[in-house]
Structure 1
Amino acid sequence: MAGIGTLSVIGLGYIGLPTAAMFASAGVDVIGVDVNLRVVEAVNGGRAHIEEGNLDELVERCVRAGKLRATSEPEPAEVFIIAVPTPVDNGDSPSPDLSYVRAAAISLAPSLKRGDLIILESTSPVGTTEMVAGILREARPDLTFPDQAGEDADICLAYCPERIIPGQMLKELVENDRVVGGMSPRCAERAAAVYKTFVRGVCHISTDRTAEMVKLTENAFRDVNIAFANELSMICRDLGVDVWKVIEFANRHPRVSILNPGAGVGGHCIAVDPWFIVASAPDRSRLIHAARKVNDAKPLFVIEEIERAIAENPGERVACLGLTYKADVDDFRESPALEIASVLSRKYGETIVCVDPYAEALGERECANRGLRFIDLDAAMRDCGILVMLVPHQAFRAHPKPESAVIVDPVGFWH
C-alpha cells in the first residue's frame, strides 16, 4: 500500500492479530511478531490461534495472498505497532506491569531507521509513550526522537488505544472512532494516516498523554457504573428486595440508566485499566479505587450465596454455567466466573461441575490445575439440583428455566 510500506505488529494476541489481519486485508504488507512460536506457526499456517468471528478465514486469506506472515523477531519495517499485554501485579492496590512494552521496544530498536513510525496500542499509564521514546533513545543514539527534536525527529511516535470488544473485533476495528495521540503534531498525523487505510470511523488527533488517559478513562467510567449496580445488588439482597425490579423501575426515570449487576468484572480492560489511574494518582482516585474494590469483592458475595444454597440442599450437585469473562467469547482472562468455579471446585470436589461452550480454549492443564470438571448442558440440567448462572452464553437459552432446581442467578438470566 503506497505511503505505508511494510507494517510490523509486535504481539499477535487478542488485539494484535486482528489488527495485523485488517491491515493485510487492506493491501498492506504486514509482518506479525510474537515470542510464542506456536502463535507464529499458526499464523504462517493460515490459522488464527484465538476464536473471533471470521478472523480465521481472514488470516488464511491474507497469508495465502502473501500479505501477512509471522516471525519471532522484529524485522525492518516502516511502521511498527506495539500491541503487547500490560497486566497488573498482585496486591491491595495493583500497579501496571510494563515489562512487555519495554521488551517490545528493546526488541525493535535494532530494526529502526530514519523515517520510521512507532505506534503504541497497549493500554498504558499516562507517560508510557514517552517511556518508549526514552528506551529507544538510549538504544539508538544515532537517531533522534520527538522529545529531542520535535517535528524534525528521525523517528515518529504515537499512541492509539484499541477500543474493541471480543466477538465484534473485526467490525469495530473498521467502524469505531480512534483517538490518535502523537508526541508531536506530525507524529499524530502520520499515525492517523496509517489507520485510515481501513478505519471508517473518525481518527481524532490529540497528544500521546491525552490519548493514554482517554483509554483509561473509558474503562474506569464503565467500572464505576458496574460497581454501582453490583453494590446495589448486594444491598437489595440484604434488604430482601428484588434488585432486577428496582433497576427496571428506576431506569424508567428519564435521566437514570443503571447497568445490570453480575458476578464481578473480568477481561483484559475493565478489571485492569482503572488500576493504572489509581497507581498514577492514588490520593485523587478515591472513587475509582472504591469501585475496583466493590467489583473485586462481588465474586466472594456470589460464592457465599452458592454456599448457602449448598448448605440448605445437602447432597445436591452444583452446576456452574459459564466461566468466560463475558458471554459468547472464548476469553477467560480475569474472569470472576472462572475464579468462583475454581474456589468451589477446590473446596467441594466432585459436587461441583461446570458447563461452558468454550471450555476447550481454557486447556486441559488449566482445568486440572483448578480442579474443574466439565459436563454438557443437558447433563447439568438433568442431574444437578443447584444451577448457578455465572455467564449468560447464548447457547444456554435453548433450555427453559428448570422448575425443580435451586437457582443462583447473579446475572439475571432467569429473572
Structure 2
Amino acid sequence: MAQKICVVGLGYIGLPTAVMFANHGVRVHGMDINEKAVNMIQNKQLHIEENGLQEKLEQAIDDKLLTVSTSPEKADVFIIAVPSPIREDKTANLEYVRKATESIVPFVEKGNLVILESTVPPKTVENIMMPELIKTGLEIGTELFVSHSPERVIPGKVFEELVSNDRIVGGINEESSRMTTELYRTFVKGTIHETDATTAELVKVMENTYRDVNIAFANELAKIADKIGVNIWEAIRLANFHPRVNIHMPGPGVGGHCIAVDPWFLVELNPELAKIIHLSRETNDGMPQYTADMAASILQAKQIKSPKLTVLGLAFKGNIDDMRESPSLDVLRHLEEKTLDVTAYDPHIKEIQLKNQTASVEEAYGHADALLILTDHNVFKEMDPNEIAGMVRTKIVIDTKNCISRDKWEAAGFEVYTLGDSKNR
C-alpha cells in the first residue's frame, strides 16, 4: 500500500476520495487552486454537500492523515481529479487536466504512480498527460507508471459506491494497472477490471452516453404522450416490466458534470459517426425550452394578470447541492425571456448565486401563481399541500419529475400538471 497519496483537485470526487484513503490509514495530501475551498477544509468545513463527508473529513484531519494546501507535495501516488468541462462550442476543455499534470511534474520521483480519475475523451492520457509527464525525465512504464481509473459514483451516495461499485483500471502497461488495482483495493469491495488506458477512457464516456441516449428516448416519448393524451410515466412503468427493457425517466433536461458533458466528447471525436449521440444531446438540451413553454402556456391559459412563477429546484438532481450544467438554469433563462416574474428556490443550495434566487420559504411560496418542480428533492416530495395552499395566490403546481402525489395535491385544491401527461391540459 502506498505510504502517501497526493490528490490534485478537491471537488465532488477528489475530496471524498482523499478522505476515503485517509480513513483507511493512508497519509494523504490534497491540493486545490481554490484558496477558499482549501481554507474551509483546513477548518473542517465543507464547500460541497455529500452524505457522511463531514464526519469522515473531521476524522481524517483529527487522525493527522489528511493535509491540504494550494500546491502539490511529493508522494508515492498522484491522483488527478479535476474538472473536464466542455466549452461553449461543445468541445472538451482539457486545460485543467493538462495544468494539473504539469503541476505535479516537479514532485514526481522514480517509482511513482500517476492516476487520472477525471472523466475525459479517449486518448487524453496519451495526448494530454504523457507530453507533460515526459518532462520528469523518467521513463514512462518502467520508472513512472500511469493509469486512468474513472470514478463511477453518484452524488449523495459517493462513499457507499466508492466501496461497492466495480471499478475500471486502465494502465499504460500491465504494471501500471497492477499498481493501481492494488491501491484501490485499500477500500474497494467491488470487482476491479483491468484494461488499457484508452479503453478505460472510452468505457466511462460510453456509460454516461448510454444513459443520455436513453433519457433522450424517454423525453421524445414524453412529448409524444403529451400529443396523444397518455401518461408517459405510467406507460414507462408498464413497459419496464418487460425483462429486457429499461427505459429511463423523462424530465426538464439533463444536467451534471457527466451525462450532460461526456457524450460531446464522442461527438467531437467523430461527428460523422456519432449521429444518434448528437441528436440525443440536442433532444435533451431542448427540454428546458419545452418545459418553459409548457409552464408559460399553462399560465397564459389561466389568464392570470402578472403571474408569479416559483421554480423549485436548482440542483441537477435530487438531494444534492450541485448546479453544474443544471437544466434548471436554462429553464430559468427561457422563462426570463418570456418576461415572467420568476423566483427560484432550492433548500440544498445555501449560497445565493442567482439574481432571482431566494433562501426564504415564505418568499418562494408567498403569492405564487404556479409552482414549477424541476428537481426531485425529498423536501419537495414531502411538501404538505394543505400548508402550501395557505401561502400561494393561485393553486397550480407543474411537476416535471412526477415526484408529488397528484391525489393529495388535488385534494388540497391544486390543479396538477405533469410533464408527459396532457390529460389535464
Same fold (TM over 0.5): yes
Partner amino acid for 1:352? V
Q: How far did 1:372 drift?
A: 3.1
1:384 and 1:43 mapped to 2: Cα distance? Answer: 39
Matched length: 397
Partner amino acid for 1:367? L
Q: How far did 1:345 drift?
A: 4.3
Q: Which residue of 1 aligns with 2:354?
A: 367
Is 1:130 the counterpart of 2:126? The answer is: yes
1:348 to 339, 343, 358: 339
1:394 to 378, 384, 387: 378
Please tell me whether the aligned partners of residues 125 and 276 of structure 1 are also in contact (alpha carbons under 8 angstroms). yes
Please tell me whether the aligned partners of residues 268 and 334 of structure 1 are also in contact (alpha carbons under 8 angstroms). yes
Q: TM-score, normalization: structure 2? A: 0.89
Q: Which residue of 2 aligns with 1:99?
A: 95
Please tell me whether the aligned partners of residues 180 and 204 of structure 1 are also in contact (alpha carbons under 8 angstroms). yes
Is 1:82 the counterpart of 2:80? The answer is: yes
Deviations 1:300-325 (A, max 9, x none): 00010011122123233211111110
Please give the secondary structure, in 1, of the residue aligned with 2:286. Answer: helix
Please give the secondary structure, in 2, of the residue aligned with 1:396. Answer: helix
Is 1:45 the counterpart of 2:43? The answer is: yes
Q: Structure 2: give runs of 5+ residues left out of the alignment.
A: 407-425
Deviations 1:37-68 (A, max 9, x none): 11111222222221111101111111111100
Is 1:175 the counterpart of 2:164? The answer is: yes
Q: How far did 1:12 drift?
A: 0.4
Please give the secondary structure, in 2, of the residue aligned with 1:352. Answer: strand
Q: How far did 1:250 drift?
A: 2.5
1:290 and 1:100 mapped to 2: Cα distance? Answer: 28
Q: Which residue of 2 aligns with 1:149?
A: none
Is 1:112 the counterpart of 2:103? The answer is: no
Deviations 1:114-134 (A, max 9, x none): 100000001011111112443
Pick the structure with more helix per residue. 1
Please give the secondary structure, in 2, of the residue aligned with 1:383. Answer: coil
Q: Mean Cα displacement is larger for which, 34-43 or 20-29?
A: 34-43
1:62 and 1:160 mapped to 2: Cα distance? Answer: 23
Please give the secondary structure, in 2, of the residue aligned with 1:320. Answer: strand
Q: Which residue of 2 aligns with 1:190?
A: 179
Is 1:229 the counterpart of 2:218? The answer is: yes
Please give the secondary structure, in 2, of the residue aligned with 1:367. Answer: coil
Q: Mean Cα displacement is larger for which, 4-13 or 379-388?
A: 379-388
Say what the alpha-carbon RMSD is for the aligned residues: 1.8
Please tell me whether the aligned partners of residues 121 and 266 of structure 2 are also in contact (alpha carbons under 8 angstroms). yes
Per the alignment, do residues 343 and 300 of structure 1 end up closer, same or farther by CA in structure 2, a change over 3 Å counting? closer
Q: Which residue of 2 aligns with 1:63?
A: 61
Please give the secondary structure, in 2, of the residue aligned with 1:206. Answer: strand
Deviations 1:61-114 (A, max 9, x none): 1111110000111111110000000000112xx111100000011110011111
Please tell me whether the aligned partners of residues 46 and 64 of structure 1 are also in contact (alpha carbons under 8 angstroms). no
Is 1:27 the counterpart of 2:16? The answer is: no
Residues 6-25 of structure 1: matches in 2 within 5 Å? 6-25=4-23
Q: How far did 1:136 drift?
A: 2.8
Per the alignment, do residues 22 and 325 of structure 1 end up closer, same or farther by CA in structure 2, a change over 3 Å counting? same
Q: TM-score, normalization: structure 1? A: 0.91
Is 1:332 the counterpart of 2:330? The answer is: no
2:128 and 2:287 mapped to 1: Cα distance? Answer: 36
Please give the secondary structure, in 1, of the residue aligned with 2:17. Answer: helix
Q: How far did 1:412 drift?
A: 1.4
Please tell me whether the aligned partners of residues 119 and 191 of structure 1 are also in contact (alpha carbons under 8 angstroms). yes
1:413 to 380, 403, 416: 403
Partner amino acid for 1:214? V
Q: Structure 1: give runs of 5+ residues left out of the alignment.
A: 147-152
2:266 to 270, 277, 280: 277
Please tell me whether the aligned partners of residues 42 and 49 of structure 1 are also in contact (alpha carbons under 8 angstroms). yes
2:398 and 2:241 mapped to 1: Cα distance? Answer: 27
Please tell me whether the aligned partners of residues 105 and 135 of structure 1 are also in contact (alpha carbons under 8 angstroms). no
Q: How far did 1:137 drift?
A: 4.3
Q: How far did 1:347 drift?
A: 4.6
2:206 to 217, 232, 241: 217
Partner amino acid for 1:96? A
Please tell me whether the aligned partners of residues 354 and 375 of structure 1 are also in contact (alpha carbons under 8 angstroms). no
1:382 and 1:12 mapped to 2: Cα distance? Answer: 38
Deviations 1:196-230 (A, max 9, x none): 11111111111111111110011001001111101
Partner amino acid for 1:293? E
Q: Which residue of 1 aligns with 2:347?
A: 357
Please tell me whether the aligned partners of residues 358 and 364 of structure 2 are also in contact (alpha carbons under 8 angstroms). no
Q: Mean Cα displacement is larger for which, 184-193 or 239-248?
A: 239-248
2:364 and 2:106 mapped to 1: Cα distance? Answer: 55
2:75 and 2:159 mapped to 1: Cα distance? Answer: 24
Q: How far did 1:339 drift?
A: 2.3
Q: How far did 1:346 drift?
A: 6.2
Please tell me whether the aligned partners of residues 86 and 93 of structure 2 are also in contact (alpha carbons under 8 angstroms). yes
2:115 and 2:140 mapped to 1: Cα distance? Answer: 13
Please tell me whether the aligned partners of residues 98 and 132 of structure 2 are also in contact (alpha carbons under 8 angstroms). no
Per the alignment, do residues 311 and 133 of structure 1 end up closer, same or farther by CA in structure 2, a change over 3 Å counting? closer
